[in-house]
Amino acid sequence: MDHGKSFFLVGIGGSGMLPLATILARRGAAVAGSDRALDNPALGPKFAALRRQGIALFPQDGSGITSADQTVVASAAVEATVADMVAADRVGAPRMTRPQLLAELFNASPLGIGVAGTSGKSTVTGMIAWILHATGRDPTVMNGAVMKNFVRSDAPFASALVGEGDAFVSEVDESDGSIAFYRPRVAVLNNVSLDHKTLEELRTLFGGFADRAQTAVVNVGDAESAALAAAIPPAKLLSFAVEAPADLSAEALAPEPFGIAFDLVADGSRRRVRLGVPGRHNVANALAAIGAAVAAGVDRDEAAAAIEGFAGLKRRFELVGEANGVAVLDDFGHNPDKIGATLDTLHDFPGRLLLLFQPHGYGPLKVMRRELVAMFLGKLAPGDRLVLPDPVYQGGTVAREVTSADIIADLAVAGIDARHIPDRYAAAAHLVAEANPGDRIVIMGARDDTLSLLAADMVAWLGKV
């Protein structure tokens, strides 16, 4: 790619746009962008970090798009009536979607490592990033979450790395079908379950992704992924599983409140590994990352040693603080598998759970309604409390066929202690008022950076109780 080009990113503060802007800017492109939250004081540090990279920022009013030399990059969710899109049409600026541009960068790299799956993509991407960095490979990395290992005073929002090595590691997204754009050398498939699309659609997308790779690293401990693995030629398959036979397997799991240890078993050898992130799901994530690193040429023992230094991601089972004996955690859980994995991890240790789950849209609620309800029925313990505010709403025309109130009604029929409190601050205040020493409050949801600020507010409120 000609990195002297000029790009204008619409919604530049988003979790997918911000790291892309960083990669483009550090590779020599002229980068500018707009965001409708530009004047939100709570998000000021994020925009300040972009400006420090020489990125010009504009309100989302079309004022930043002035030339046909600019390539305007936007997600598919940005409607044609948005002022920036109107301005792009007026000046004749070419357009790309965010995944199209990311895939172009990825496919141009000598060693593209794509991380796919319904759950765990950001964590696996961060783990691979740390292994490759720690073993001297100097990767470029595109992540949808802040990687704690790489946070510095001059890089507080470290969701991207820009290195000189061959590897380009990136999450790849199935929700909009853009996974079809990627041609990975190493394809990681962690799991397959309902989120944005039907299972049949997901099988086609994930299967094609794995088929295009030279090496497919697949979780055969997941039933859907295992079925896809069966169609992959054995010579290009590297399988992994937790407590099940595979090329890389994990045995003798020993959970801790904020970590977990396991035996890595491969080729008849056994090595003890301790992760600094908790939960059985993170053992699977670690196997995926070690497998990807091995497929990229890293010695297996070096990869296993390196992953013990992985510090985790922001908003992934993150302890925000504790006050009056109540811990507050911030978590990205937003689909049944992610939420269920977090609840399983928390229930390994004593303490009631007070959950605030903000759905990440009305569309996902419609797709996942039955599975969400079944998950909460199976995973909530006696005494746990669940509150759902209304879904996050980012503008545009949205069909509201299934709401938070519908999910709560389904749960109420089954006798679950759950409430719909439309305003999330009122929902948060309700949980703070309910909390007792020994309880854990968990904030869950995606597509909304301000959930972390809400979690911090709740710690402060608890301190005043």
Q: 329-352, pLDDT tens digit by residue?
A: 999 888 888 899 899 989 988 899
pLDDT value at residue 130:
98
pLDDT for 334: 82
| For residue 176, pLDDT beyond 90 | no
Is 298's pLDDT higher than 80?
Answer: yes
Say what the pTM is. Answer: 0.86
Using pLDDT thresholds of 50, 70 and 90, give the confidence band for residue 91.
very high
With tokens 């470029």, the residue in question is 140
Question: β-strands 248-256, 259-266: how paired?
Answer: antiparallel
Alpha helices in 380-420 (DSSP H): 404-413
Confidence of residue 195 (pLDDT cuts 50, 70, 90): low
* Runs of H (alpha helix) within 10-93: 17-26, 44-52, 83-91
pLDDT for residue 411 is more than 80: yes
Q: Are the beta carbons of 402 and 368 closer than 8 angstroms?
A: no
Q: What is the pLDDT of residue 135?
A: 98
pLDDT category at 75 given cuts 50, 70, 90 is confident
pLDDT at residue 156, rounded to an integer: 87
Q: Is there a contact between 187 and 209 (Cβ–Cβ < 8 Å)?
A: yes
The mean of the pLDDT values for the chain is 92
Q: Which residues pair with 419 in a beta bridge?
A: 387
Give the span between the Cα atoms of 62 and 88, in whole angstroms.
Answer: 8
User: Residue 196's pLDDT is what?
Assistant: 60
In angstroms, the CA 298 to CA 68 distance is: 44
Judged by average pLDDT, the poorest of 171-175, 248-252, 437-441 is: 171-175
Condensed to tens digits (0 to 9), the pLDDT of residues 234-245 reads 999 999 999 999
Proportion of the chain above pLDDT 70, given as a percent: 97
CA-based radius of gyration for the chain: 22
The pLDDT tens digits of the residues spanning 13-34 come to 988 899 999 999 999 999 999 9
pLDDT average, residue stretch 207-224 = 95
pLDDT band at 363 (very low <50, low <70, confident <90, very high): confident
Distance CA 443, CA 24 (A): 33
C-beta of residue 92 within 8 angstroms of C-beta of residue 31:
no
* From 94-108, 168-182, 382-396, the region with the lowest mean pLDDT: 382-396
Section 383-388 average pLDDT? 94
Tokens representing residue 286 in the block: 């670690």
350 φ, ψ (degrees, to nearest 5): -70, 155
Confidence of residue 396 (pLDDT cuts 50, 70, 90): low
Q: Where are the alpha helices (DSSP H) in 356-399?
A: 362-379
Given a contact cutoff of 8 angstroms between Cβ atoms, the answer to whether 73 and 8 are in contact is: yes
| pLDDT for res 289 | 98
Question: What is the C-alpha separation between 105 and 166, in angstroms, rounded?
Answer: 12
Confidence check: pLDDT of 197 > 90: no
Predicted local confidence at residue 415, as pLDDT: 85
Distance CA 115, CA 137 (A): 18
What is the pLDDT, as a whole number, of residue 367? 81
Q: What is the mean pLDDT of residues 292-314?
A: 97
Q: Please tell me which residue, 261 or 156, carries the higher pLDDT value.
A: 261
The secondary element (H helix, E strand) that includes residue 261 is strand 259-266
The pLDDT value given to residue 394: 62
| pLDDT surpassing 60 at residue 1 | no
pLDDT band at 465 (very low <50, low <70, confident <90, very high): low
Q: C-alpha angle 214/216/222, rounded to 5°?
A: 170
Query: Tokens 């990229």, residue?
Result: 296
Read off the pLDDT of each residue in 151-162 and give the average, rounded to a whole number.
Answer: 90
pLDDT at 98 over 60: yes
pLDDT-derived band at 395, boundaries 50, 70, 90: low
Instruction: Report the C-alpha gap between 109 and 88 in whole angstroms.
Output: 29
pLDDT score of 392: 78
Please state the φ and ψ torsions of residue 70, each to the nearest 5 degrees.
Answer: -85, 135
**Furthest-apart CA atoms within the chain: distance in Å:** 64
pLDDT at 79: 84
pLDDT, residue 258, reads: 87
